[in-house]
């Protein structure tokens, strides 16, 4: 197997592993609450802790990559995530969990941003789409592992131990192949163009437009997935079984959409494909707003998810077309951090809006946010490749 193929395999393994810890907590939490003296709503604080760590490490990835390189960043981030998982299994109170989640989030954000930066530089948009599709594999496997552990043993810690073992195997693999990540062009590039600091990158207006795009986009993606079950069951008369099924289909459409996008990216181009997908999603949002088609407008969820699917990986993959080479690593990390901020803020904003105007207001909010995504993506599509002007 060639060096490039082996590295690509390692990237896919890492992205699948990245999805495992994210997915098991939700399944385990009802079983954890009794042992850890917690209520169900405390899960929100844990998510805030994890997302905060994810934002911090993603934002700093460009600077850390310059100091220690890709291989050691992946190894260190994997260790942080694994330490967090181990600590979850030994604490006796939920009060520790937000801080433990912060540790795991630091690791997860580092892996995410480092891999996206590496693939953006060395592989095509097709590979980036498929890489993000593989994350869905991990998110799917994680709940199955935890459910199997609960059914077989009744112990949520067993599920965590299985994931810990898998994470340790990933770290060992990264350690064994660490020299493969060394970039033969890195030294030459450093002489060609000095590295840029985070502050330097923040002086570029296109970086702010990129971050805004990721913030708005993630708010739509996560918001639709988070609120649709409640909207369908509480306001639109859809049964619990049907609502649960169609929300699962919504998330599944991202994996399918990214697999298809990988096949089409070279023919259409990443940005053209993104704009087509976003337009498709907007049609879906309008259908969802007017409760059509299907019961409660559930069929529109498929169109929304399938259309949104290419956006995140395509925007990552085209980062080097918007900013100079020395700013790419910083910008990728900042974009992912902005997505994390969207994940952190949107639940509270949605809850506030629902309290004031009722749950149906959320679809109008999704439509407004998606319109903003279309505007900012249009701006990014027209931005010059190597001529952003510092302010």
- Name the pLDDT band for 194 (thresholds 50, 70, 90): low
Interval 21-62: pLDDT, tens: 877 887 888 889 889 998 877 888 898 899 999 999 999 999
Interval 93-137: pLDDT, tens: 999 999 999 999 999 999 999 999 999 988 899 999 999 998 878
pLDDT value at 225 more than 60: yes
φ/ψ of 173, rounded to 5, equals: -65, -45
Query: DSSP letters along 347-382, please?
Result: HHHHHHHHHHH-TTHHHHHHHHHHHHHHHHHHHHHH
pTM for this prediction = 0.88
Ranges 248-252, 286-290, 355-359: which has the least confidence = 248-252
Distance CA 23, CA 233 (A): 23
Distance CA 199, CA 111 (A): 22
Interval 379-388: pLDDT, tens: 998 874 445 5
DSSP E strands: which ranges in 11-60?
Answer: none
Tokens 């949605």 correspond to what residue?
Answer: 350
CB 156 within 8 A of CB 31: yes
Can you say whether residue 202 is alpha, beta or left, with left for phi > 0 and alpha for psi between -120 and 50 degrees? alpha
Distance CA 45, CA 320 (A): 36
Q: Percentage of the chain surpassing pLDDT 90?
A: 64
Ranges 239-243, 321-325, 345-349: which has the least confidence = 345-349
Closest CA to 211 of 308, 315, 117, 125: 315
Interval 229-244: pLDDT, tens: 889 998 999 998 899 8
Domains defined along the chain, listed by start: 3-178 (1.20.1250.20), 198-377 (1.20.1250.20)
């Amino acid at each position: 197997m060639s060096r490039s193929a082996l590295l690509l395999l390692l990237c896919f393994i890492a992205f699948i592993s990245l999805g495992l810890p994210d997915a098991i907590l939700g399944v385990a939490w009802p079983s954890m609450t009794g042992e850890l003296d917690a209520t169900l709503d405390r899960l929100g604080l844990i998510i805030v802790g994890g997302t905060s760590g994810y934002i911090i490490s993603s934002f700093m990835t460009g600077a850390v990559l310059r100091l220690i390189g890709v291989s050691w960043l992946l190894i260190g981030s994997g260790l942080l995530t694994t330490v967090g998982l181990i600590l979850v299994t030994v604490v006796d109170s939920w009060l520790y969990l937000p801080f433990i989640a912060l540790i795991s989030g630091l690791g997860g954000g580092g892996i995410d941003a480092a891999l996206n930066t590496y693939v953006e530089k060395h592989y095509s948009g097709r590979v980036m789409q498929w890489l993000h599709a593989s994350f869905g594999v991990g998110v799917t496997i994680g709940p199955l592992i935890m459910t199997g552990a609960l059914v077989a043993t009744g112990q949520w810690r067993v599920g965590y131990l299985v994931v810990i073992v898998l994470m340790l195997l990933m770290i060992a693999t990264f350690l064994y192949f660490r020299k493969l990540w060394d970039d033969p062009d890195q030294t030459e590039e450093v002489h060609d163009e000095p590295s840029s600091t985070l502050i330097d990158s923040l002086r570029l207006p296109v970086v702010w437009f990129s971050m805004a795009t990721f913030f708005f986009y993630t708010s739509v993606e996560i918001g639709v997935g988070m609120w649709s079950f409640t909207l369908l069951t509480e306001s639109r008369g859809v049964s619990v079984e049907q609502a649960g099924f169609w929300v699962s289909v919504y998330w599944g459409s991202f994996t399918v959409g990214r697999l298809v996008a990988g096949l089409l990216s070279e023919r259409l181009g990443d940005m053209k494909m993104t704009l087509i997908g976003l337009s498709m999603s907007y049609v879906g949002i309008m259908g969802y707003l007017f409760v059509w088609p299907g019961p409660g407008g559930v069929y529109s969820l498929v169109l929304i998810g399938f259309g949104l699917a290419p956006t995140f990986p395509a925007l990552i993959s085209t980062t080097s077309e918007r900013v100079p080479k020395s700013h790419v690593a910083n910008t990728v990390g900042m974009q992912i951090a902005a997505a994390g901020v969207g994940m952190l803020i949107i639940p509270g904003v949605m809850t506030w809006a629902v309290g004031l105007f009722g749950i149906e207001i959320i679809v109008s909010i999704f439509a407004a946010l998606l319109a903003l995504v279309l505007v900012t993506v249009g701006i990014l599509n027209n931005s010059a490749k190597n001529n952003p002007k510092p302010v």
